[in-house]
Amino acid sequence: MSSPSASCTAGIRGSRERQTRTLISVAAAYNPLIEYPCGYRTAWRSTPDQGGHSMYKEDIARFCLSLPGAREDYKWGGVRVFSIVEKKMFALMDLTGQDLSFKVHPELFLGYVDRPGIRPAPYLARAHWVSVADLHTLSDEEVRDLLTRSHQLVVGKLSKVKQIGLKL
């Protein structure tokens, strides 16, 4: 039989571990540049990944805004929306920069969804949108190419007058 003091000590130890995990999770929520050992994962690291990928949320935002006619807006309580004339969206990114969604060609949709790290975008999959949860699964060049193609798909749906207005 275990002594009452041993079970009391185990209870206190377990309680302290739970408190420590809670404190680390709370601290992680307020410091977005730290990766914690308890498994709490932040959106972006402060230094580039070992794989050589350096495309971070601000790089993606700058690239999206460099495309002809692109504008940025914030909607739905924390989603960064990149759109063209008349609010035609071509890319979405959550505020942490962790999740990027964009439109793909309908014939290529299933091929992209089969790739690891890419899934159908919630609420937009029927319009052939995909979501990438971890951009380090794609090369920087591939991210730029996919965003450019998404932009081109949306611009292609605009009237010719509006396309000329964008000087494409």
65: domain CATH number? Answer: 3.90.1150.30
pTM over 0.95: no
Instruction: Examine the pLDDT at 47 and tell me if it is beyond 70.
Output: no
Lowest mean pLDDT, pick from 10-14, 88-92, 108-112, 146-150: 10-14
In a domain, 119, yes or no: yes
> Pick from 101, 88, 89, 87: which is nearest to 129 by CA?
101
Note down the domain range covering 9.
Answer: 1-42
- Please give the residue that has the higher pLDDT: either 1 or 59: 59
**Both 65 and 7 in a single domain?**
no
User: Are the C-beta atoms of residues 102 and 92 closer than 8 Å to each other?
Assistant: yes
**Both 35 and 66 in a single domain?**
no
Provide the pLDDT confidence category of residue 125 given band limits of 50, 70 and 90: confident
**Coil vs helix vs strand at 120:** strand
How many angstroms separate the CA atoms of 132 and 135, rounded?
6
Instruction: Examine the pLDDT at 38 and tell me if it is beyond 60.
Output: no
User: Are the C-beta atoms of residues 91 and 105 closer than 8 Å to each other?
Assistant: no
How many angstroms separate the CA atoms of 129 and 100, rounded?
10
How many angstroms separate the CA atoms of 141 and 158, rounded?
26
**Coil vs helix vs strand at 136:** helix
- Please give the residue that has the higher pLDDT: either 17 or 71: 71
